[in-house]
């Protein structure tokens, strides 16, 4: 029997609406770096490691060529949080038409949750969404940043978006047509 999943779509419509989280202390070892070299293997690693317990399934069957195409697309950026040199989480920005930027994926690896990194990473990613046009001359200035989260994501995801200033503009509840399962290589029993 499948359980209904609620999906919330949230947005910021001006840069001043972003309410940044506190920046971790300098001795926390947290830094955020843009992954500038498209790497299908690294992208898949982050997607699988972060999404394993959140039922992220849509990209699992992708071949390496599709991952590369994604990361080479103008307006797509991957920002990775590290703590003392270990990947802790990431934000994937997807520039869309007419100055819209989607935070397509965002999250932390399970071992890094609860350390005060998530709010900072989301704040940083949202700020990079707002200044995407300055880094990408082919992109118009950003007018709107949006994201979606669902009831399968971490228990603090929706609250984190709201604390950063994102407002819900749509809510949908539906029973998924595919039964969620854990991805291979991420704690699955397959």
Q: Which has more confidence, 27 or 186?
A: 27
Tell me the CATH number at 92.
3.40.630.30
Residue 188, in any domain of the structure:
no
C-alpha–C-alpha distance, residues 119 and 112, integer Å: 12
Asked, for residue 189, whether it belongs to a domain, the answer is: no
Indicate whether 185 belongs to any domain: no
Contacts of 106-113 spanning 24+ positions with Cβ under 8 A: 106/147, 107/50, 107/51, 107/54, 107/153, 107/154, 107/157, 108/50, 108/81, 109/49, 109/50, 110/52, 110/53, 112/81, 112/83, 112/88, 113/154
Structurally, how many domains does the chain consist of? 1
In a domain, 127, yes or no: yes
Domain assignment present for residue 107? The answer is: yes
User: Helix or strand or coil: residue 49?
Assistant: helix
Q: Is pLDDT larger for residue 156 or for residue 110?
A: 110
Residues of the domain holding 100: 5-174
pLDDT at 160 over 80: yes
pLDDT of 7: 94
Rounded Cα distance, 59 and 45, in Å: 11
Q: Are 9 and 157 in contact (CB under 8 A)?
A: no
Phi-psi region of 107 (alpha: psi -120 to 50; beta: other; left: phi over 0): left
Segment 30-74, tens digit of pLDDT? 999 999 998 999 999 999 999 988 888 899 999 999 999 999 998
186, part of any domain:
no
Q: Is residue 44 part of a domain?
A: yes
pLDDT digits (tens, 9 = 90+) for 88-140: 999 999 999 999 999 999 999 999 998 999 999 999 999 999 999 888 888 89
Mean pLDDT of 142-163: 92
């Amino acid at each position: 029997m499948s359980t209904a999943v609620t999906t919330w779509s949230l947005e910021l419509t001006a840069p001043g609406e972003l309410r940044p989280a506190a920046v971790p202390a300098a001795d926390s070892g947290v830094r955020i770096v843009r992954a500038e070299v498209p790497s299908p293997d690294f992208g898949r690693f982050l997607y699988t490691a972060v999404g394993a317990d959140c039922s992220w399934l849509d990209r699992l069957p992708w071949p390496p060529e599709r991952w590369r195409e994604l990361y080479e697309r103008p307006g797509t950026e991957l920002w990775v949080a590290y703590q003392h040199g270990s990947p802790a989480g990431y934000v994937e920005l997807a520039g869309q038409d007419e100055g819209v930027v989607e935070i397509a994926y965002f999250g932390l690896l399970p071992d890094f949750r609860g350390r005060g990194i998530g709010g900072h990473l989301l704040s940083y990613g949202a700020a990079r969404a707002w200044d995407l046009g300055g880094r990408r001359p082919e992109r118009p200035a950003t007018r709107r940043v949006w994201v979606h989260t669902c009831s399968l994501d971490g228990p603090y995801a929706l609250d984190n978006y709201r604390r950063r200033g994102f407002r819900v503009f749509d809510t949908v509840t539906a029973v998924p047509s595919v039964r969620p399962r854990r991805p291979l290589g991420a704690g699955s029993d397959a």
